[in-house]
Amino acid sequence: MILSSTPAHAPMDQFPVASGELVIGGLPLTQLAARVGATPFYAYDRGLIAQRVAQLRAILPPAVKLHYAMKANPMPALVAQMVRLVDGIDVASGGELKVSLDAGAKPREISFAGPGKRENELIQAVAAGILVNVESFREIALLARISRQLGVPARVAVRVNPDFELKASGMKMGGGPKQFGIDAEAVPQALAEIGKAGLVFEGFHLFSGSQNLKAEAIVEAQQKSYELALKLAAHAPAPVLTLNLGGGFGIPYFPGEERLDPAPIGANLAALSERAERELPRAELVIELGRYLVGEAGIYVTRVLDRKISRGQVFLVCDGGLNHHLSASGNFGQVIRKNYPVVIGNKMDATEKEVASVVGPLCTPLDLLADRLALAKAEPGDLVVIFQSGAYGASASPQAFLGHPAVAEILV
């Protein structure tokens, strides 16, 4: 069988291998599967999460606060671990707010963003005493009324849809029309209304994009976000206490992609926090990361049910698919489908390899987890592992589609 000479996937070295098995949280994969009691499942390695946070802290200036954007992975036990490791939790719904509070996050350290907040979610937020990133004039008016009704003034930051241009190969691109945040040019008016309504203004929130592997691009976005916030601060009804510069740090998935080097971002944030000491003396700089903190620490495991050969092509039919892992199937924001890093996790030392496609049990050709990939030769009972699955996995997948059982999740 001819195997391509290019690497099958981005470098995956975060999990050790012992006796031919992938080891997660100290447990060999087959033992881990036995402990879970069923396949398919997601497993998240708490040691790797702690290590990622520690590595990032080492290059971040101590004054910069690190938040976890929990929509990346809202598993309650994992959120509880993040509460212990980071400085704050960013939630995107009333449901996530409940999980973060249950996990022990302090209301002071929770912020809430999202383009369509229901009135009841805003009531929950004000009653809990968390920071609301306001994204429209409707939210400002509603929060004013809710504050009066509850007798508790809402804490707010303004989420800004930036107007700055990012240069890319000589082409200038504006911030453009977005459903997120308030357009920068309308922010002075929003700040005036916040002041008039007696809301507690605390700062700004800017988020320019997700899954970026280029440190220079992130540095540039953070630089421009800082400049914009500084300009807007002149219109604010109170000093800026928090300046959230967003996240967007990416992780490698596909062949040829490499890990982001966060060092230049740390150096730039150090320079920005020195400037902030003079220019926004009461402000804390915040970054909020989802995928980067948890994505590489998680795997998805599904068992081979059947091995079929159709007109010469090998199909490994598994007990889970896009119903549990939409993004690995290429249907969560990918333009061209590419394979996630996939291995046969109980045959890591196998010398016999073959080209096979990994598919799930659903009656749709979209249910494809790996398209013609070089894998260890697998049989029914073997365990397919998809790496880089700690973020936007279980909760970002259509689990009810076709009525298969929900996926299990464990933190080890």
Ligand X SMILES: *Cc1c(COP(=O)(O)O)cnc(C)c1O
Listing DSSP states for 96-127 in one string gives HHHHHHHTT--GGGEEE--S---HHHHHHHHH
Q: Which is nearer to ligand X, 378 or 391 (CB)?
A: 391
Residue 90 or 121 with smaller CB distance to ligand X: 90
Residue number with the shortest CB distance to ligand X? Answer: 290
Q: How far is the CB of 307 from ligand X (least distance, A)?
A: 36
The residue to which tokens 């090998």 are assigned = 314
Give the nearest distance from C-beta 264 to ligand X in angstroms: 17
- Alpha-carbon separation of residue 355 from 301, 361, 377, 380, 385 (angstroms): 19, 20, 8, 16, 16
Cα(284)–Cα(205) distance, rounded to whole angstroms?
Answer: 12
Phi, psi (rounded to 5 degrees) for 157: -125, 155
> What is the smallest separation between the CB atom of 165 and ligand X, expressed in angstroms?
21
Q: Percent helix, strand, coil in the chain (nearest 5)?
A: 35, 25, 40
With respect to ligand X, which residue has the nearer C-beta, 9 or 159?
159
Rounded to a whole number of angstroms, the minimum distance from the CB of residue 190 to ligand X is: 17
Q: How far is the CB of 4 from ligand X (least distance, A)?
A: 30
Helix/strand/coil for 38 = coil
**Shortest Å distance, C-beta 367 to ligand X:** 25
Chain residues that interact with ligand X, rule: CB under 6 A: 69, 71-72, 90, 92, 113, 207, 210-211, 246-249, 288-292, 391
Least separation in angstroms between residue 101's CB and ligand X is 19
Q: Is 51 helix (H, G, I), strand (E, B) or coil?
A: helix
14 or 211: CB nearest ligand X: 211
Q: Which is nearer to ligand X, 92 or 157 (CB)?
A: 92
Of 56 and 144, nearer to ligand X (C-beta) is: 56
Q: Quick check: helix, strand or coil at residue 183?
A: strand
Sign of CA dihedral 89, 64, 290, 160: positive
73/124 with CB nearer ligand X: 73
What one-letter code names the amino acid at 31? Q
Check: CB of residue 179 under 8 Å from CB of residue 157: no
The CA distance from 392 to 73, in Å, is: 6
